[in-house]
Amino acid sequence: MPELPEVQTTVLGLKKKVLNRTFVDVWTDTKKLFKNISFPDFKKEIKGKKIKKIYRRGKNIIFDLSDGLNLLVHQKMTGHFLYDKWENDPMNSFIRVKFFLDNGKVLALSDLRKFAKIELYKTKDLKLNLGPEPLEKSFNFDKFKNVLKKGKIKQVLMNQEIIAGIGNIYSDEILWQAKVHPEKDALKLSEKELKRIYKAMKDILKKAVDLGGTSISDYRDIEGKKGKFGDIRKVYRRESQKCPRCGAIIKRKKLGGRSAHFCPSCQKP
């Protein structure tokens, strides 16, 4: 699933290509992606709307449109946007939606598993129940400590109502860098452990954005290209390999229906 770095990479690409463009038509073969509006109504509403602003909130991409509308897209597990002409890659071939623009170009949504979510709101009605953004300058260490709740630290980091944008990949990488076991209780961590997590969170998310996200599965940027953070990841999906820090064998464990990857030597319970 695209997390903060992948969604931010997409938003940066969209800003360069489709900002101030106007939707002239839309096509889909998967009407179930449209969640709070029927596709015929969506098609009617979106025509003639100009894209005034594009931003990310958590894992959501939000387009501010003319006439006081917001288009919200959550790419879910396997969705990603593609613009105009994109690389020939199998993951770019599952086109479910095409937005036709006033410059003759197409903004497409590829989604292998058809789980993406497209919604249209009046701007005043758009409400997202999300925690603070971890890369905002205002999200300092004290605020980080104050938002934490009881629970296993990996699950707390992934809770979108606590901190927005972190998922399975980056929670694993953050906790490995911080040398904290994913099952430790968030409220029982020492000040030193919390500082290491906070620093790792900032470092890793920034680096992942700089590298265009992680594409070891299906994520691609709007040109259909892979992100490069997966090339330097330390533990995520590296079970049975050696820890790059200590040489112990990386383990994988189910945690709340998700997989946690960690080093049993560096990240002691």
**DSSP assignments along the chain, one per residue:** ---HHHHHHHHHHHHHHTTT-BEEEEEES-GGGB-SS-HHHHHHHHTT-BEEEEEEETTEEEEEEGGGEEEEEE-TTTEEEEESS----GGG--EEEEEEETTS-EEEEEETTS--EEEEEEGGG--------TTSTT--HHHHHHH--SSBHHHHHH-TTTSSS--HHHHHHHHHHHT--TTSBGGG--HHHHHHHHHHHHHHHHHHHHTT---SSS---TTSPPPSGGGT-SSTT-TTSBPTTT-PBPEEEEETTEEEEE-TTTS--
Q: Is 2 a catalytic residue?
A: yes
Q: Is 258 a catalytic residue?
A: yes
Catalytic, out of 3, 6, 119, 173: 3
Catalytic, out of 2, 5, 134, 182: 2
Catalytic, out of 56, 59, 220, 238: 59
Q: Which residues are catalytic?
A: 2-3, 59, 258
